[in-house]
Amino acid sequence: MVDANSKFTCLVPRTGPVTKFRECRRQFGGVREAVWLVLNLYKMAGSFEKEQEVLGIIEEKKLESGEGDRDMAPAAGNSIHRSGSRPQLDVSKAEIQGNVEEKYPTILLPNQSDDLSHLALDIGGSLIKLVYFSRRENQSADDKRKKSVKERLGLSNGNRRSFPILGGRLHFVKFETRKINECLDFIHSKQLHCGGLESRYPDVTDQNGIIKATGGGAYKYADLFKERLGVSLDKEDEMDCLVAGANFLLKAIRHEAFTHMEGQKEFVQIDPNDLFPYLLVNIGSGVSMIKVVGDGKFERISGTNVGGGTYWGLGRLLTKCKSFDELLELSQKGDNRTMDMLVGDIYGGLDYSKIGLSASTIASSFGKTISEKKELEDYRPEDISLSLLRMISYNIGQIAYLNALRFRLKRIFFGGFFIRGHAYTMDTISFAVQFWSNGEAQAMFLRHEGFLGALGAFMSYEKHGLDDLMVHQLVERFPMGAPYTGGKIHGPPLGDLNEKAKVSLQISWMEKFLQKGTEITAPVPTTPLAGTTGLGGFEVPLSKGSTLRSDASALNVGVLHLVPTLEAVASEGGTDDAQRRGDAFAHAFSAHLARLMEEPAAYGKLGLANLLEMREECLREFQFVDAYRSIKQRENEASLAVLPDLLVELDSMDEETRLLTLIEGVLAANIFDWGSRACVDLYHKGTIIEIYRMSRNKMRRPWRVDDFDIFKERMLGTRDKKMPHHKRALLFVDNSGADIVLGMLPLARELLRRGTEVVLVANSLPALNDVTAMELPDIVAEAAKHCDILRRAAEAGGLLVDAMINTSDSSKQNSSSVPLMVVENGCGSPCIDLRQVSSELAAAAKDADLIILEGMGRALHTNLNARFKCDALKLAMVKNQRLAEKLIKGNIYDCICKYEPAS
Ligand SMILES: Nc1ncnc2c1ncn2[C@@H]1O[C@H](COP(=O)(O)OP(=O)(O)OP(=O)(O)O)[C@@H](O)[C@H]1O
Ligand SMILES: CC(C)(CO)[C@@H](O)C(=O)NCCC(=O)O
Ligand SMILES: [Mn+2]
């Protein structure tokens, strides 16, 4: 007999899984018991536990943190159908697709300039801003699946495109204009001028290349770009670009705009249909004020030469500061009353209330410095900086207000890098606008403040077709610092960076970048590198935080404030390189968390899902593409080995028992969730069998939330009432291994057997041990080898085109089965935000009349209270005591089977 508490080391199966399964079955009786045992034996076989222990640390807090986000379904009344699309950003070049047709539909021709649309520049008087696009890795492997999904769902890109949509990311980087060579080095080493390192033709430099550029430097430095990079700058008008960038951001990016008053940041959701007119105030070196009345419809109505350049230039001279951030930082410790002449100074401490001026109002900026016999050295640099900052911010706010008044504009958006996300600057501007307009006009700021022009230039590539598509398809992800240098994205050994990369070290930033990541420390060097102005990484102010910058809004990020020790490294063989990347990841991730602790709203409003996604993005940024890959594969193999026997047993049951067993199976299998602390703990204690036993015990009905009977009635009808089968079911799947193979696939098979089309909805990107859309076709193909229902459905759904040898007559067979399809959800997190899903999923959802959400992340943390227009079944085992108490007034390991008929 097997000792329930043994570690099973002696039981590592030497025989094949099926034989082992039969043995186990003899010992344990039930198929399911045997399934679990074999499954776990196989896990143990590959030093799984060790690996798990290691990886578990990273994930420990995952869903534990579980306040549960607000439900993320579209607002009531808005079904999933309406959903926008997710992160694919289409940068394919239609005009060069034709000749290559089916086989390599996304091929990029080296002699075309098309690749260059990956980069656009805004070269201003002070700063160069870069926006560039990088493609998602491993994209092509998924192309086949996408193509068949598209055919099935009738998904088309409209007239513009007849090729797969690529996924990728937009990066935002800035450099000081006076150090333009660093910028050129950066572009060169990332090969951004010829399509990026991910380009299929990285070695080909296109001498006729064109890069879109705006700002004065597009003229001034055109020759330099030609000389150094062999590219021409295609000049776009600066104002056009500012407006295009602002309109795009305000329409497309959630929580882009916010107000900032008295230290309080408040995000404003702009209705894209009620955006115009507004005043755009871009505070760069100088200030431009633009009345915007529509897309591409605007007029530059004013400007002022007292701007960011004034603050930085004068401030540098007066304080000897070495960097802009240092100057800004100084201001936070300043007291402007030593410099500024206040009304009270003039009126003997009294207000001048008759004209509405209080004693503390600044009557004259720097006015005090005339009356005292003091020299520059006698003043504190801190006070000088603050006084200067107030003077300039207030002045800009006032002129902006006057112009808003002139054209009766109620909303004023402030952009430009002068703002630098700095609370005091924003408060001062807001105060001026509020004060002068008596609250009539409102000052708002943009998270991408300084990148309006560069974004506008990026969008001006006509062949992108990015315009409106992007508005719907771009989705924010998290900013991550990646080590970068010398032409390699992976970077050299990090220790070498200081010598090798003096100039070109840079942080690449993604969407949702930091406004001023003051707390983001560089992943590598300890001494700040001269020259780069990466958004944060190397601009770490000398002193930490300040009272000026506090955002009071409390976001509980403490729950995730666990800095993972970097054993994700183990997933990559523990090489030195992996180790270094691991260290860098730890730095970057903890810096993000520290930043969030200080300023919870730094990246817009965050929920748990975003935080989880942030960690995954961070891992990816450091090339930990899929830390769970090997575990997932092993779990899948082990589960697939026992699937046939499970199916045989299921088939021997009557319909009703089978349906119950299937749902039990899904719930039981959901325990193997490597994001769950409880599950990982159980593993650590070496009581695998207990996981299984407990899981099975918990299957006893009634479950904590138990709508099974209603669901059963809908599925099987009653004696008097037959029910039609569902037309199409979307199954949101969760974990790899048992969860998908022994839980959800059999359920899918049951639906298929009943004539329901099944769409398996899986993550686009790896997260924990979640199964991804890219992995699913292989799993299904494997399962299909032993199951006719799955095979025919998968063939009909186009999943087996490659996997099966005999595909020539598949069209004939197709007619005999409803299809089984796989679509990606657009997410890279265990949670799902249904407001932002992939276009595939949105299309698949159109005809769905049943949605099954499975697993804690998808069914509990998010969407437990989401209302759907179609029938919805939410299945999960709660592996967190606190969450169980909070959500269902139950206990850890309770099960939820929540069924809600179409509303
Ligand atoms: N790291 C930095 N180095 C220099 N200036 C900075 C930095 N960060 C913020 N700033 C501020 O941002 C201003 C530049 O903003 P921005 O990049 O929007 O303008 P620009 O495009 O360079 O100027 P213009 O549009 O007038 O040509 C600087 O003048 C300074 O006040
Ligand atoms: C000259 C530009 C447009 C260059 O970006 C900018 O610096 C600016 O708007 N300066 C202010 C010029 C003025 O209107 O007084
Ligand atoms: Mn500019």
Q: CA–CA separation, 93 vs 117, rounded Å?
A: 9
pLDDT at position 42 over 80: no
Tell me how far the alpha carbon of residue 415 lies from the centroid of ligand 1, in angstroms. 11
Give me the pLDDT at residue 20, please: 52
- Going by pLDDT thresholds of 50, 70 and 90, the confidence category of residue 630 is confident
Question: What is the pTM (predicted TM-score) of this model?
Answer: 0.62
Question: Do 95-241+457-476 and 257-339+379-446 share a fold?
Answer: yes
pLDDT (mean) for 51-77? 33
Task: Please give the CATH topology (third level) of the domain spanning 95-241+457-476.
Answer: Nucleotidyltransferase; domain 5 (3.30.420)
Lowest-pLDDT range of 429-438, 554-563, 647-656: 554-563
Phi and psi (nearest 5°) for 771? Answer: -75, 140
Lowest-pLDDT range of 70-84, 274-288, 376-390, 657-671: 70-84
Tell me how far the alpha carbon of residue 127 lies from the centroid of ligand 2, in angstroms. 14
Nearest-CA residue for ligand 1 atom 16 is: 284
pLDDT at position 484 over 70: no
Tell me how far the alpha carbon of residue 192 lies from the centroid of ligand 2, in angstroms. 29
pLDDT (mean) for 762-768? 87
- Going by pLDDT thresholds of 50, 70 and 90, the confidence category of residue 537 is very low
What single DSSP character describes residue 742? I
First to last CA, the chain: 52
What's the complex ipTM? 0.98
Report yes or no: 232 and 226 within 8 Å, Cβ to Cβ: yes
Pocket of ligand 1 from Cβ distances under 6 Å: 124-127, 176, 215-216, 284-286, 308-309, 311-312, 324, 416-418, 420, 450, 533, 539
Closest by CA to 258, choosing from 393, 423, 400, 398, is: 423
Phi and psi (nearest 5°) for 365? Answer: -60, 135
Joined tokens for residue 470: 């992007």
Give me the pLDDT at residue 155, please: 59
- Going by pLDDT thresholds of 50, 70 and 90, the confidence category of residue 558 is very low
Tell me how far the alpha carbon of residue 430 lies from the centroid of ligand 1, in angstroms. 20
- The CATH code of the domain at 257-339+379-446 is 3.30.420.40
pLDDT at position 567 over 50: no
Closest by CA to 791, choosing from 770, 771, 805, is: 805
- Give 264 or 534, the one with higher predicted confidence: 264
In the chain, what are the domain boundaries? 4-67, 95-241+457-476, 257-339+379-446, 482-652, 654-670+695-900
Q: Which of ligand 2's atoms lies nearest the C-alpha of 285? A: 7
pLDDT at position 850 over 90: yes
Q: CA–CA separation, 887 vs 889, rounded Å?
A: 6
Structure confidence by residue, pLDDT tens digits, 306-349: 999 999 999 999 999 999 999 999 999 999 999 999 999 999 99
CATH class, 654-670+695-900 region: alpha beta
Tell me how far the alpha carbon of residue 414 lies from the centroid of ligand 3, in angstroms. 13
Tell me how far the alpha carbon of residue 531 lies from the centroid of ligand 1, in angstroms. 14
Structure confidence by residue, pLDDT tens digits, 720-762: 999 999 999 999 999 998 889 989 999 999 999 999 999 999 9
Pocket of ligand 2 from Cβ distances under 6 Å: 124-125, 216, 238, 284-288, 303-305
Tell me how far the alpha carbon of residue 282 lies from the centroid of ligand 3, in angstroms. 8
What single DSSP character describes residue 300? E
Report yes or no: 111 and 192 within 8 Å, Cβ to Cβ: no
Q: Which of ligand 2's atoms lies nearest the C-alpha of 284? A: 7
Report yes or no: 283 and 419 within 8 Å, Cβ to Cβ: yes
**Mind giving me the DSSP string for 480-547?**
-----BTTBSS-S-GGGHHHHTTTT------SS--S--TT---SS-SSPPSSB--SSTT---SS---G
Give me the pLDDT at residue 785, please: 92
Other CB atoms within a 10 A radius of the CB of residue 660 amount to 17
Length of the chain: 903
- Give 373 or 626, the one with higher predicted confidence: 373
Instruction: Give the mean pLDDT of the chain.
Output: 72
Phi and psi (nearest 5°) for 268? Answer: -120, 120
Q: What percent of the chain has pLDDT over 70?
A: 66
Q: Which residues sit with Cβ closer than 5 angstroms to ligand 3, an ion?
A: 124, 215, 284
Nearest-CA residue for ligand 1 atom 17 is: 127
Structure confidence by residue, pLDDT tens digits, 180-199: 999 998 888 878 887 655 44
Place of tokens 């523990």: 574
Structure confidence by residue, pLDDT tens digits, 344-384: 999 999 999 999 889 999 999 999 999 778 999 999 999 99
Report yes or no: 128 and 177 within 8 Å, Cβ to Cβ: yes
Report yes or no: 799 and 659 within 8 Å, Cβ to Cβ: no
Provide the sign of the torsion angle of the four alpha carbons 387, 388, 394, 395, taken in this order: positive
pLDDT (mean) for 655-680? 85
- Going by pLDDT thresholds of 50, 70 and 90, the confidence category of residue 503 is very low
Report yes or no: 833 and 808 within 8 Å, Cβ to Cβ: no
Q: CA–CA separation, 638 vs 646, rounded Å?
A: 13
Q: CB burial class (10 A; 0-12, 13-18, 19+) of residue 629?
A: middle
Choosing from 282, 287, 414, 417 the residue with most ligand 2 atoms within 8 A of its CB, the one to mutate for a pocket test is: 287
